[in-house]
């Protein structure tokens, strides 16, 4: 079974080396590796060219942004499944594709765990066993550890290039909550993500939230009132749990813990 791994890069030679090394050392033989470079001037193009014998397709030219570059990769992919591993991200081991890909059969979106690495800390981020709109309303699936059946891009469409930050989230929430595609969570670390990208930069949180709200109002307006009401009730319950009076009543046995 062929898997297409797509890496996009722009002036991130150090990260690109890390990513490409982790892909090119994979022991799984049926990998179609696609590298889309945005016309880098830091030596990335030369590095890609030096490894072109092991790359199915590559290009180094100016693009219109992250999702335009990812869509260019999709247009070249022929694998049954696609994994996006952008420059800086890396696969966790040389055998991980060989061990994980067979678990993807009969599913369309398959989410694995991801090791998130910051400057002074790291943690494992997991996906839910069962995916719900309430989860995707405030969260997303990490594209670095989510394998997607390529045919979904044909039936649902590619990434929305008018969005700067949340187009992958838009794809997931529409695919799962509108098209009811099959979803599978597998408790196994697939990849490593180093904080510092556009979506993890606090300076971009306002734009990210604005883009999310626009998508929700356009695609799921009928659910927004329900979600706002639910979030209000959750906030009230949380406040009650923190209340000193409620804690006292629980200790005295007048209330059960909730």
pLDDT in tens, 186-226: 999 999 999 865 555 566 778 888 999 899 888 887 776 66
Q: What is the pLDDT of residue 138?
A: 84
- What's the rounded Cα separation, in Å, for the pair 6 and 102? 19
In a domain, 210, yes or no: no
- Distance of CA 222 to CAs 61, 135, 175, 216, 238, Å? 42, 17, 17, 9, 26
Evaluate whether residue 48 is within a structural domain: yes
Q: What is the pTM of this model?
A: 0.85
- Phi and psi at residue 7, in whole multiples of 5°? -120, 125
In a domain, 49, yes or no: yes
Question: Structural domain of residue 104, as residue ranges?
Answer: 3-201
Dihedral sign, CA of 101, 153, 208, 34?
Answer: positive
Tokens of 28: 């799984």
Summarised one tens digit per residue, pLDDT across range 108-137 is 999 999 999 988 889 999 999 999 888 998
Evaluate whether residue 59 is within a structural domain. Answer: yes
| Residue found under tokens 């991130």 | 12
**56: nearest Cα among 83, 36, 84:** 36
Structure token pair of residue 212:
């999310």
Hey, is 144 helix, strand or coil? helix
pLDDT digits (tens, 9 = 90+) for 135-188: 998 899 999 999 999 999 999 999 999 999 999 999 999 999 999 999 999 999
Q: Is residue 158 part of a domain?
A: yes
Q: Is residue 242 part of a domain?
A: no
Torsion over CA of 135, 211, 171 and 5, rounded to 10 degrees? -110
């Amino acid at each position: 079974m062929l898997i297409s791994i797509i890496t996009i890069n722009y002036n991130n030679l150090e990260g690109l080396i890390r990513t490409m090394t982790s892909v090119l050392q994979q022991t799984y033989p049926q990998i179609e590796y696609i590298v889309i470079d945005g016309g880098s001037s830091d030596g990335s193009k030369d590095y890609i060219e030096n490894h072109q014998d092991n790359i199915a397709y590559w290009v180094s030219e100016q693009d219109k942004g992250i999702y335009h570059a990812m869509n260019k990769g999709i247009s070249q992919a022929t694998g049954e499944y696609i994994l996006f591993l952008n420059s800086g991200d890396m696969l966790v081991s040389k055998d991980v594709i060989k061990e994980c890909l067979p678990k993807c059969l009969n599913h369309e979106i398959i989410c694995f765990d991801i090791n998130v690495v910051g400057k002074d800390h790291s943690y494992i981020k997991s996906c839910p066993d069962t995916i719900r709109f309430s989860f995707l309303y405030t969260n997303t699936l990490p594209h670095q550890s989510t394998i997607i059946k390529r045919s979904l891009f044909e039936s649902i469409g590619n990434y929305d290039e008018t969005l700067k930050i949340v187009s992958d989230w838009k794809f997931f929430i529409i695919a799962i909550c509108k098209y009811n595609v099959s979803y599978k969570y597998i408790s196994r670390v697939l990849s490593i993500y180093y904080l510092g990208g556009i979506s993890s930069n606090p300076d971009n949180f306002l734009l990210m939230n604005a883009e999310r709200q626009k998508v929700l109002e356009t695609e799921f307006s009928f659910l927004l009132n329900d979600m706002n009401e639910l979030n209000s009730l959750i906030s009230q319950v949380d406040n009650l749990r923190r209340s000193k009076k409620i804690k006292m009543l629980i200790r005295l046995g007048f209330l059960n813990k909730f």
